[in-house]
Amino acid sequence: MKRYTCSGFTLLEVTFVLVILGLLIGGLMRPLLNSREQLMQSRADLQLTNARNALLGFAARNGRLPCPASADSAGTETLNEIGCDIYQGFLPVVSLGLAGPLDAQILLLDPWSKRIDYSVSSSDSDSNGMADFPTSGGMREAGLSRLQGDLKVFHWLGKDCSDLQLRASHVVAVIYSDGKNTNASNAEQLNRSNSGSYATGAYSQSTDCGYDDHVQWLSDSALFTQMLRAQQLP
Ligand SMILES: [Ca+2]
Ligand SMILES: [Ca+2]
């Protein structure tokens, strides 16, 4: 008489193996996901640095900063006779000749496929009714001694959600990416407020106080240095 023996695994053994496999895969995937996220953050920083350099190049060639693009200006600036139609908008990728991924409205996208914001100062230091920085001859007319950017950048210290300290005043242009997440911290809310004030800070994924934005700015003194070199000023 034949005797049959069961050589399969019990449910408990299979569950145990699956748990171990899950832990192993999770452990291997986490560093890969972290390094992918770090790569995307580096790409965002590089994009903003290239955009800042393009702004300086535009100023050296044209003697002024470009106006922001609007959602429907097909990547071109919104310049009029006395300044810009809007002072907070998007990078005018066509006017700047910037390379990179675009959406259907010809607006530059960051590594998370979000539009990159750009603001320019609306300052009218000589009160002639024309914004100094984006209008042709506006800076030369106002003169170096009077010119002053009116955007501000604050620094989030990472201790308290509301603890923002002034990082840079007299700013003429800000370029900003929301990063991967749209967090509710005061620093990120300030960046989305279109108030002319922005915040930079350390990366944090705290649930109530997270910050993963990327912000670069151009101070008026950095712009003047470039304008003097290019003989666009005085
Ligand atoms: Ca003016
Ligand atoms: Ca963010």
User: What pLDDT, on the 0 to 100 scale, is given for residue 55?
Assistant: 97
Ligand nearest to the CA of 182: 2
Instruction: Find where tokens 């990547």 sit.
Output: 75
Are the CB atoms for 92 and 173 separated by under 8 Å? no
pLDDT tens for each residue of 112-137: 999 999 999 999 999 999 999 999 99
User: Among 81-95, 131-145, 193-207, 213-227, which is the least confidently predicted range?
Assistant: 193-207
User: Among 84-93, 143-152, 202-211, which is the least confidently predicted range?
Assistant: 202-211
Ligand nearest to the CA of 183: 2
Average pLDDT, the chain: 89
16 or 121, which is more confident? 121
- The rounded Å distance from CA 212 to ligand 2 centre is 5
Is the pLDDT at 3 greater than 70? The verdict is no
Ligand nearest to the CA of 128: 1
- The rounded Å distance from CA 56 to ligand 2 centre is 26
Ligand nearest to the CA of 135: 1
Ligand nearest to the CA of 201: 2
Burial (CB count within 10 angstroms: exposed 0-12, middle 13-18, buried 19+), residue 218? buried
pLDDT tens for each residue of 59-115: 999 999 999 999 999 999 999 989 999 999 999 999 999 999 999 999 999 999 999
Once rounded to an integer, what is the mean pLDDT over residues 182-189? Answer: 88
Is the pLDDT at 33 greater than 70? The verdict is no
Helices 11-62 & 220-229, crossing angle to 10 degrees?
50
Once rounded to an integer, what is the mean pLDDT over residues 158-163? Answer: 72
- The rounded Å distance from CA 234 to ligand 1 centre is 15
Q: Is the dihedral of CA 7, 13, 14, 17 positive or negative?
A: negative
